[in-house]
Amino acid sequence: MSSHVFYRDLSRTLPSAKLGEGAYIVDEGGRRYLDASGGAVVVNLGHGRKELAEAISEQLRRGYYFHPTMFTHETVESLAAKLAEHAPDGISRFYFMTSGSEAVETAIKLARQIQIARGEQSRYQLISRWNSYHGLTLGALAASGRKNFRMPFQPLFADALHIQPPYCMRCAFGLEPSGCGLRCAKALEDLIVKQGAQTLSAFIAETVSGASLAVYPPPPGYWKMIREICDRHGVLLIQDEVMCGMGRTGKWFASEHYDVVPDLVTLGKGLTGGALPLSAVGVKESFYQLLVKQGGFAHGGTFSHHPVCASAGLAAIKLLEREKLVERSNAMGEILGKKLAEALEESPFVAEVRGLGMMWGVELVADQKTLAPFPRTEKVTERLWQYLFDRGLIVYKSAAMAGEDGDGLVVAPPFIISEPEMDTVAQLLREAVDQVLRDSNP
């Protein structure tokens, strides 16, 4: 079939999706794929939700564009109010954009303007972490720590400062968790002191590391220490929950696991369950009021605060509430994690199965004892992914968590996935690891 589409993946011919229903995608040939990653960790409610379609249709009939500097709208107001009900204490204002990258850019700019409003004009630099992902627009890319995405464009952006991530399995400092004293968190203070706090605006990090580390929840105490360091030095804390928010980890906000309240939080992906592009930045009320007094926020977007996208977000939250899907993510996610661990525990190529809620990662290695990774040239992640896709199972790729090397897969299905479907996921993953890697030599 001829096409005029500039595809994201230029390396292969893609099947054409025809229908999404429940936990499945059906292509035009009638083949069914169990979507065990929710696309890019997006589809938390399941495919084909009529409630989302009906809410969107109703809003389209009532009006689909009102410029956000000229009008507010009841749907946008209601969505912000709903988010405030579930957000960490103090996060009560929400700025709406259309993508996770835009939300991150918004948060970076918002942090800078808050610092200016506080009389801290010299604070402009951003701190982030290596092995992180915050988006592919230039500002978000500067914050990101995935080197393969950054390298071609690094001359084009003003780079952020980076510290090592909380990745105990491959501790950058060569320490063991039992006696490390959270060295990875203390690295933030080291950098602040070295750089000079008076130049630093904010620290941004994924609350739970996503695809860049094949899902890695931070160790106990990490976020508490980070919060204390930021407060001590006047650095704002931005938690990126574009992937791990909206119930994905079994809590409405992943920060709830760590009893920490950020100054700003970014949301996206599951905010509408994938029905329409929508993202948000939540900010503390005190900072919002400060900006009101200081003359506003110099930012915007043609499609910011879009009422139709907001209608999808509002309908998605109502579904999460009514069907108790966040609670289901927590309970069934624990079962999913156990099934994955049990299925893969005997494989000599699985280093670790880790995660929270409906967000799990599997890291593959050439040698379990030394944790030596496969060379990236062997494309282990890609081969495993293709094997599974060919058999009707969709997972998400993760690679290069061990320097230039490293392989992993992310399992993050819709919250409605059934236990038999979880069994299918676990069984096919075990089969894929056995079949694809059986000739590898540890």
Query: Residue 6: what pLDDT?
Result: 95
Range of the domain at 194: 51-322
For residues 341 and 345, give the distance between their C-alpha atoms in angstroms, rounded to a whole number.
6
> Is 405 in the same domain as 384?
yes
What is the mean pLDDT of the segment spanning 72-97?
A: 97
Residue where a domain terminates, one of 292, 322, 352: 322
Is position 203 within any domain? Answer: yes
> Is 213 in the same domain as 314?
yes
Element spanning 195, H or E:
helix 183-195
Q: What is the CATH number for 387?
A: 3.90.1150.10
Using DSSP bridges, classify how beta strands 24-27 and 17-21 pair: parallel, antiparallel or unpaired.
antiparallel
Is position 442 within any domain? Answer: no
Indicate the number of domains in the chain: 2
pLDDT tens-place string over residues 386-409 = 999 999 999 999 999 999 999 999
| % of the chain exceeding 70 in pLDDT | 99
What is the mean pLDDT of the segment spanning 135-153?
A: 95
> Is 123 in the same domain as 140?
yes
Residue where a domain terminates, one of 298, 322, 346: 322
For residues 41 and 396, give the distance between their C-alpha atoms in angstroms, rounded to a whole number.
8
pLDDT tens-place string over residues 283-299 = 999 999 999 999 899 99
> Is 374 in the same domain as 285?
no
Is position 6 within any domain? Answer: no
> Is 340 in the same domain as 312?
no
Q: What are phi and psi of 420, to 5 degrees?
A: -60, -35
Strand-by-strand arrangement of the 236-240 sheet:
91-97, 279-284, 264-267, 236-240, 200-206, 125-129, 161-163
Is position 127 within any domain? Answer: yes
Q: What are phi and psi of 342, to 5 degrees?
A: -65, -40
Say if residues 364 and 408 touch (Cβ distance below 8 Å): yes
Strand partners of residue 85: none
> Is 226 in the same domain as 330?
no
Is position 312 within any domain? Answer: yes
Read off the pLDDT band of 50 (50, 70, 90): very high
> Is 85 in the same domain as 200?
yes
Is position 209 within any domain? Answer: yes
Query: Residue 2: what pLDDT?
Result: 83
> Is 283 in the same domain as 373?
no
Among candidate residues 121, 120, 145, 123, the one with its CA nearest the CA of residue 134: 145
Is position 148 within any domain? Answer: yes
Is 440 a residue whose pLDDT tops 80? no
CA 302 from centroid of its chain's CA atoms:
24
> Is 364 in the same domain as 293?
no
Query: Residue 441: what pLDDT?
Result: 55
> Is 209 in the same domain as 315?
yes
> Is 330 in the same domain as 276?
no
Q: Which residues contact 10 (CB under 8 A, 6 or more apart)?
A: none
Is position 345 within any domain? Answer: yes
> Is 132 in the same domain as 256?
yes
Residue where a domain terminates, one of 322, 354, 388: 322
Is 134 a residue whose pLDDT tops 90? yes
pLDDT tens-place string over residues 250-296 = 999 999 999 999 999 999 999 999 999 999 999 999 999 999 999 89
Q: What is the CATH number for 92?
A: 3.40.640.10
